[in-house]
Amino acid sequence: DIQMTQSPSSLSASVGDRVTITCRASQGIRNDLGWYQQKPGKAPKHLIYATSSLQSGVPSRFSGSGSGTEFTLTISSLEPEDFATYYCLQHNSYPRTFGQGTKVEIK
Amino acid sequence: EVQLVESGGGLVQPGGSLRLSCATFRFTFRNYWMTWVRQAPGKGLEWVANIKPDGSDRYYVDSVKGRFTISRDNAENSLFLQMNSLRAEDTAVYYCVRGGGGIDYWGQGTLVTVSS
């Protein structure tokens, strides 16, 4: 199975900060990676597909990059509604695997 | 807008069975892979299974192989998850999700609790 290691597991940041979350795959997954945002008690929301393509309706302050084994999600300027938990998901091989999540908290 | 609505969750004893359903709306269901994802209380997301548009291919995480069966009814635009031999560690919110790789739209989830 491909292991997805997300870092950090949590972070504290202020509104307006630039935030970067990293996902490392235990083996190459080309660009077969997506990012999801989850708020407490809610279903996850799809943010980015194919490593760097923004899902329709997602604000442009979100961006993704990477390839192979290292991937990043960047929020260029944190907004109050961005405080949530973020997950990466690889869909290069079975079983699909998620990162363990990164909780973004208010500083 | 695309909508997915899960049902069928509840409290079940260890060793018991449960069948989850997912009704889908406002997209051409028969053209899409479909996926189940679960989330144990206070934990992260876990991919469970997915199924090809025509139902001919299905994939499972090892921990549910032989116990869970994913299926679909394209005439009814519905997805199912038959869960047998349930264990305490299967306790989770189960989400129905559109797609097989880059999964996109999620249902609101249905809670399955396995406890005596």
Greater confidence, B101 or B84? B84
- Answer with the residue of higher pLDDT: A67 or A21: A21
Determine, for residues A96 and B50 on separate chains, whether the beta-carbon distance falls below 8 Å: yes
Tell me the nearest-neighbour CA distance from B106 into chain A, angstroms: 7
Beta-carbon contacts below 8 Å between A and B: 53
- Count of CB atoms within 10 A of residue A10's CB? 10
Residue B38: the pLDDT is 98
**What backbone torsions phi and psi does residue B30 show, to the nearest 5 degrees?**
-70, -10
A54 contacts on B by Cβ (under 8 Å): none
Give the pair of three-digit tokens for residue B110: 């249905």
pLDDT category of residue A106 using cuts at 50, 70 and 90: confident
pLDDT in tens, B70-98: 999 999 999 999 999 999 999 999 999 99
Among the partner residues B45, B50, B100, nearest to A98 by beta-carbon distance: B45
Mean pLDDT of A62-84: 96
pLDDT band for position A17 (50/70/90)? very high
Interface contact B47-A87, CB threshold 8 A: no
- pLDDT per residue over A26-68, tens digit each? 999 999 999 999 999 999 999 999 999 999 999 999 999 998 9
The predicted structure's pLDDT at residue A107: 87
In whole angstroms, give the CA distance from residue B50 to residue B69: 10
Please give the pLDDT value at position A57.
95
Interior angle at CA A94, CA A19 and CA B27, nearest 5: 75
- DSSP label at A80? G
The yes-or-no verdict on residue A82 having pLDDT over 90 is yes
Q: What is the mean pLDDT of chain A?
A: 97
> Which residues in chain A have Cβ-Cβ distances shorter than 8 Å to B60?
95
pLDDT digit string, tens, across residues B23-64: 999 999 999 999 999 999 999 999 999 999 999 999 999 999
Q: In this complex, is the C-beta atom of A103 within 8 Å of any C-beta atom belonging to chain B? A: no
Q: Mind telling me how many Å the CA of A32 is from chain B's nearest CA?
A: 8
Give the span between the Cα atoms of A61 and B78, in whole angstroms: 35
Q: Is A58 exposed, middle or buried (0-12, 13-18, 19+ CB in 10 A)?
A: middle
- Give the C-alpha separation, A45 to B106, whole Å: 7
Chain B residues whose beta carbon lies within 8 Å of the beta carbon of residue A55: 104
pLDDT at A37: 98
Mean residue pLDDT across chain B: 97
State the pLDDT at residue A35. Answer: 98
Q: Given an 8 Å threshold on Cβ–Cβ distance, is B45 in contact with A55?
A: no
Joined tokens for residue B100: 């097989």
Residue A105 has pLDDT above 90, yes or no: yes
**Rounded to the nearest 5 degrees, what angle is found at the Cα of A66, between the Cα atoms of B107 and B105?**
10
What does the angle CA A27 – CA A87 – CA A16 come to, to the nearest 5 degrees? 120
